[in-house]
């Protein structure tokens, strides 16, 4: 089995990144793929499902994950809420040959590029 590919989609908050990828991936069903699911400390919005749209965690749990260095990237946005993407989750899916589409704001992209020197 070959390694999956990591695709990064970056745009400002509210630009429609998730909507664009959801529509694209619904039409392209010939390959294993997923949109990465980020962690956040914000409250779920109506209709959002834990583990599907985000992993909703407490601030304390998020900060514990930071200390364990388990995020590819993370940022504090929108009134002090954390958002971040789990390194193990992405690595596991890529190892299974699943292409991962990762949605980032500009700030998250900048942190990723700086950390991984791309």
Ramachandran sector of residue 47 (left: φ over 0; alpha: ψ -120 to 50; beta: rest): left
Backbone angles phi, psi at 36, to 5 degrees: -60, 145
**What's the topology of domain 6-116?**
Rossmann fold (3.40.50)
Question: Is residue 89 scored above 90 in pLDDT?
Answer: no
Q: Contact at 8 Å (CB) between 102 and 85?
A: yes
pLDDT of res. 35:
80
Cα 60–Cα 65–Cα 70 angle in degrees, nearest 5: 165
pLDDT digits (tens, 9 = 90+) for 31-81: 677 888 889 999 999 999 998 889 999 999 999 999 999 988 888 887 899
Q: Contact at 8 Å (CB) between 73 and 115?
A: yes
Domain ranges across the chain: 6-116
Closest listed residue to residue 53, CA positions, set 78, 19, 80, 95: 19
Backbone angles phi, psi at 39, to 5 degrees: -90, 150
C-alpha distances (whole Å) from 3 to each of 26, 55, 94, 98, 102 are 22, 25, 6, 7, 16
pLDDT digits (tens, 9 = 90+) for 95-105: 988 888 888 87
Q: Contact at 8 Å (CB) between 118 and 112?
A: yes
Give the pTM: 0.71
Q: How far is CA 106 from the centre of its chain?
A: 13
pLDDT of res. 31:
67
């Amino acid at each position: 089995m070959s390694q999956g590919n990591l695709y990064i989609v970056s745009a400002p908050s509210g630009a429609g990144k998730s909507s664009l990828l959801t529509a694209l991936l619904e039409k392209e069903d010939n390959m294993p793929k997923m949109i990465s699911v980020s962690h956040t400390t914000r409250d779920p919005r109506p209709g959002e499902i834990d583990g599907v749209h985000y992993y909703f965690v407490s601030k304390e749990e998020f900060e514990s994950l930071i200390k364990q260095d388990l995020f590819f990237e993370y940022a504090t946005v929108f009134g002090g809420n954390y958002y971040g993407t789990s390194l193990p989750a992405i690595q596991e899916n890529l190892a299974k040959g699943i292409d991962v589409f990762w949605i980032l704001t500009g700030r998250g992209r900048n942190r990723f590029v700086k950390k991984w020197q791309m």
